[in-house]
Amino acid sequence: MRWYLHVDMDAFFASVEQVLDPALKGKPVIVGGGNGRGVVTSASYAARKYGVHSAMPGFQAKKLCPHGIFLPNRHRIYSKFSNKIFAILEQYSPEVHALSIDEGVVELTGTERLFGPPLKNANEILARVEKELGLSASGGLSTSRVVAKIAATLAKPHGFIYVPPGTEQVFLSPLPVEAIPGVGPKTHQELLQLGIKTIADLLKHPDLRRRHLDLDEPGQEGRSHDHSIGNETTLDKPLKEMEKMEEVLWGLVEEVGARLRQEGSYARCITVKIRYANFKTITRSRTLSTPTRFDREIFEVARELLKKNLTPGGSVRLLGVSASSLLSSGWQESMFEVRKRLSWEKLYQGIDRLRRKYGEEAIGVATPRTRTR
Summarised one tens digit per residue, pLDDT across range 68-97 is 999 998 888 998 999 899 999 989 988 887
CA distance 140 to 146: 10
Would you say 289 and 308 are in contact if contact means Cβ atoms under 8 Å apart? no
Q: What is residue 251's predicted lDDT score, i.e. its pLDDT?
A: 87
| 121 pLDDT above the threshold of 90 | yes
Q: Which CATH number fits domain 224-358: 3.30.390.30, 3.40.50.720, 3.30.1490.100, 3.40.50.300?
A: 3.30.1490.100
| 338 pLDDT above the threshold of 50 | yes
Long-range CB contacts (< 8 A, 24+ apart) of 25-30? 27/69, 28/52, 28/65, 28/67, 28/68, 28/69, 29/68, 29/69, 29/71, 30/61, 30/65, 30/68, 30/69, 30/70, 30/71
Least confident of 123-132, 210-219, 307-316: 210-219
Least confident of 214-218, 325-329, 339-343: 214-218
**Span 156-181, mean pLDDT?**
94
Kindly state the percentage of the chain with pLDDT values over 90.
44
From the list 17, 95, 103, 255, the catalytic residue is 103
**Span 166-195, mean pLDDT?**
90
Q: What is residue 312's predicted lDDT score, i.e. its pLDDT?
A: 83
| 67 pLDDT above the threshold of 80 | yes
| Sheet of 137-142, strands arranged across | 96-100, 103-107, 4-9, 137-142, 160-162
| 343 pLDDT above the threshold of 80 | no
With bands split at pLDDT 50, 70 and 90, how would you rate the model's confidence at 336? low
Q: Tens digits of per-residue pLDDT, 356-371?
A: 666 555 555 555 554 4
Q: Within the chain, which residue ranges are assigned CATH 3.40.1170.60?
A: 12-75
**Span 267-286, mean pLDDT?**
88
| 339 pLDDT above the threshold of 80 | no
User: CA torsion sign, 255 to 261 to 262 to 264?
Assistant: positive
| 114 pLDDT above the threshold of 60 | yes
Please give the CATH number for the structural domain made up of 12-75.
3.40.1170.60
Beta bridge partners of 69: 29
Q: What is residue 230's predicted lDDT score, i.e. its pLDDT?
A: 87
**Span 227-254, mean pLDDT?**
87
Q: What is residue 328's predicted lDDT score, i.e. its pLDDT?
A: 67
Q: Within the chain, which residue ranges are assigned CATH 3.30.1490.100?
A: 224-358
Q: What is residue 46's predicted lDDT score, i.e. its pLDDT?
A: 97
Mean pLDDT, the chain, whole residue set: 85
With bands split at pLDDT 50, 70 and 90, how would you rate the model's confidence at 155? very high
With bands split at pLDDT 50, 70 and 90, how would you rate the model's confidence at 170? very high
* 103 classed as catalytic: yes
Q: What is residue 367's predicted lDDT score, i.e. its pLDDT?
A: 54
| Higher pLDDT among residues 228 and 247, named by residue | 247
Q: What is residue 371's predicted lDDT score, i.e. its pLDDT?
A: 43
For 4-9+78-212, which CATH superfamily applies? Reverse transcriptase/Diguanylate cyclase domain (3.30.70.270)
**Span 240-244, mean pLDDT?**
90
Q: Tens digits of per-residue pLDDT, 183-238?
A: 878 888 989 999 999 999 999 988 888 778 867 544 344 444 446 788 888 887 88
Q: Tens digits of per-residue pLDDT, 35-60?
A: 766 789 899 999 999 999 988 888 99
